[in-house]
Amino acid sequence: MNPAESFSEKSAEQAAINCAQACVNGCILGEQCPNQEYRDQTAKFIQETPLDQMLAMAEEAIRKKRSAPPQWVYPDEEG
């Protein structure tokens, strides 16, 4: 296998990964992660935000969700 084939296989593998499922216990791609920018932002947020503030944000989000009107989802009707 030549290096070009190896690179294209890695690129295809990265594109096919569902990070929400594959990286539950941590990023499996490391420095090749396409979401590294978000990972860095998240780490900064966790370091700089007090836990009490995070809990207040979560409570507010739950309160908004509970007070919002229900959203109905209708399946597409095929003719």
Taking only the tens place, the pLDDT of each residue in 22-73 is 888 888 888 888 888 888 899 999 999 999 999 999 999 999 999 999 888 8
Predicted TM-score (pTM) of the model is 0.51
* Gap between the Cα atoms of 72 and 10, Å rounded: 41
3-state secondary structure of 79: coil
pLDDT recorded at residue 24: 86
* Gap between the Cα atoms of 79 and 68, Å rounded: 33
DSSP structure class, residue 77 = P
* Cα-Cα-Cα-Cα dihedral sign, residues 31, 41, 54, 51: positive
